[in-house]
Structure 1
Amino acid sequence: MSILHMFSLEGKTAIVTGGGRGLGAQIAEAYAEAGANVVICSRNAEACQEMSEKIKSMGVGSLAVTCDVTKPVDVQNVVSQTVGRFGTVDILVNNSGASWSAPTEDMPLEAWNKVLDVNVTGTFLMSQAAAKVMIKQRSGKIINIASIAGFGGTPPFMQTIGYNTSKGAIMTMTKDMAVKWGPHQININAIAPGFFPTKMSKVLIEHGEKMIMQSTPLGRLGNDSDLKGAALFLASSASNYITGDVLKVDGGAHAF
């Protein structure tokens, strides 16, 4: 197998949750560019449909499915529609996420529950449903979107304890799933992005941009293509001997 072929996703089918915008859209585009069929799902039906049409224009197959990842019925519907249309689930990217900003001592319980439910329970439910297909296939790649915020305490401008906690949980979940599903030839890894300008991070970046720049060796935010290479690598056969890992894509911030 040539090195370029190792990075091809020709004939593969990927599900990207929260794929209608932001980092999910960036990953979905990368997979389409590499030849994969891509299923876009999120609660925003309009955003899903728009991205799905864009992907189809790139010469691959696509579906747009409305899904709340905290609801098992919605999750199973996504997987069933994917298998029904494309016959397989080769790649799952758990990108759907939520956040809430409030001082730790004032974080509302309902906000805490919402963030943990979407980020942690949603990732679990999607992974569980996809893995049942992958176990039968004896192959598959699951990529969980974590965050550098999940590695420990965060700067004072990041009053997002629910989000930070959820991303740490996702890292642990990634490692445990890698151990449990490795014998079925399923690779489970996570990507921990640094600061990318998205709808969710916009206000956070506005408040802490100076500190972010000072603590990022490359001296910039992530751009519209900086996540593509990492996401493709972990979805392709180039990463077949890697599982249970957390790949940081943060401009070097973790090196401080």
Structure 2
Amino acid sequence: MDLFDLTGKNAVVTGGTRGIGMMMARGLLQAGARVWISSRKADACEQARAELAEYGEVTAIPADLSSEDECRRLAAEVTSQAPEVHILVNNAGATWGEQLETYPESAWDKVLDLNLKSPFFLVRAFLPALEAAATPDDPARVINVGSIDGIHVPSLPTYAYSTSKAGVHQLTRHLARELGPKAVTVNAVAPGPFPSKMMAATLDAFGEHIAQAAPLRRIGRPDDMAGVAVYLSSRAGSYVTGAVIPVDGGIATTATGM
């Protein structure tokens, strides 16, 4: 169906070399988009590029997006190849777990710089290219990756992470109001448990328990994340903005508090 067709679209996925970012990048490629992925490590970029190349045209650019300078550099490199960017997925992120008594200032700096400040600076850096791609009938799209930990209180002591993701959700709503008149939609996806490096230790220890706690009785699959990315990026999602969409099997949205 052409309702979900992304042929001819240019998409950027930060943190696109593994986990949720790679799931989204794969989905966008399969729907017909040309995709740029980024990650801090050059070897991870090349490995992911080679793996994703079977699905479509993909380019990898190493970038440490915890600084605004690197956000601007990434935008400059992408737009030198593609002046119009139809889809920006802000997925690059970090977490930190430690008890309240010893939770360090450096953790707050690391997590908020990448998880919360970076999406803002990336939207600003890419905005001319997003506006160039946008039309009233087919807006440009920004997809911010939040978390269900920004919706409910997590059981683990990840204070900076959950706070940053709640901030991402509010930033999404704020930017949606600001950029709507420019024909740019801004939405957030709030993933629950998916197989990723960030979740690996937790799933190894508690995966079965987490799956049983979900109303759908499983953890997320790559197609679940690919699907929501394609929906929000395609004509099917052109009238959706300012939304925070949990993709969690119902964990956060049906919690009983017991």
Query: What TM-score range do you get, normalising by the shorter chain?
Result: over 0.9
Query: Per-residue deviation at 1:81?
Result: 2.0
User: Where do 5+ consecutive residues of structure 2 fail to align?
Assistant: none
Distance (whole Å) between structure 2 residues aligned to residue 206 and residue 101 of structure 1: 16
Spell out, residue by residue over 1:37-95, the C-alpha distance to the aligned partner (whole angstroms, 9 max, x if none). Answer: 0001110211212222333333x332211111122222222222222212311101111
Query: Per-residue deviation at 1:210?
Result: 5.1
Residue 181 (structure 2) aligns with: 183
Contact 1:93-1:144 at 8 Å conserved across structures: yes
Distance (whole Å) between structure 2 residues aligned to residue 136 and residue 86 of structure 1: 11
Aligned residues: 250
Partner amino acid, structure 2, of 1:209: G
Residue 46 (structure 2) aligns with: 49
Moved more, 196-205 or 6-15: 196-205
Contact 1:39-1:52 at 8 Å conserved across structures: no
Contact 1:104-1:160 at 8 Å conserved across structures: no
- Choose from 225, 229, 240 the match for 2:227: 229
SS of the counterpart of 1:255?
A: coil
Moved more, 88-97 or 129-138: 129-138
- Choose from 88, 97, 103 the match for 1:107: 103
Distance (whole Å) between structure 1 residues aligned to residue 210 and residue 160 of structure 2: 20
- Choose from 114, 119, 122 the match for 1:123: 119
Query: Per-residue deviation at 1:154?
Result: 1.8
Contact 1:219-1:251 at 8 Å conserved across structures: yes
Partner amino acid, structure 2, of 1:194: G
SS of the counterpart of 1:171?
A: helix
Aligned runs of 1:1-256 on 2, under 5 Å? 4-58=1-55, 60-138=56-134, 139-155=139-155, 158-209=156-207, 211-253=209-251, 254-256=253-255
Distance (whole Å) between structure 2 residues aligned to residue 97 and residue 219 of structure 1: 26
SS of the counterpart of 1:48?
A: helix
> Runs of 4+ in structure 1 displaced over 4 angstroms?
none
Please report the TM-score for the alignment, with normalisation by the length of structure 1.
0.92
Partner amino acid, structure 1, of 2:144: N
Contact 1:82-1:88 at 8 Å conserved across structures: no
Please report the TM-score for the alignment, with normalisation by the length of structure 2.
0.92
Partner amino acid, structure 2, of 1:65: I
Query: Per-residue deviation at 1:211?
Result: 4.3
Contact 2:87-2:130 at 8 Å conserved across structures: no
Distance (whole Å) between structure 1 residues aligned to residue 210 and residue 100 of structure 2: 21
Distance (whole Å) between structure 1 residues aligned to residue 140 and residue 210 of structure 2: 35
Distance (whole Å) between structure 1 residues aligned to residue 172 and residue 234 of structure 2: 18
Distance (whole Å) between structure 2 residues aligned to residue 79 and residue 5 of structure 1: 29
User: Where do 5+ consecutive residues of structure 1 fail to align?
Assistant: none
Contact 2:41-2:62 at 8 Å conserved across structures: yes
Spell out, residue by residue over 1:196-238, the C-alpha distance to the aligned partner (whole angstroms, 9 max, x if none). Answer: 1211111223344354234201111112222111111011111
SS of the counterpart of 1:16?
A: strand
What is the percent sequence identity of the aligned residues? 35
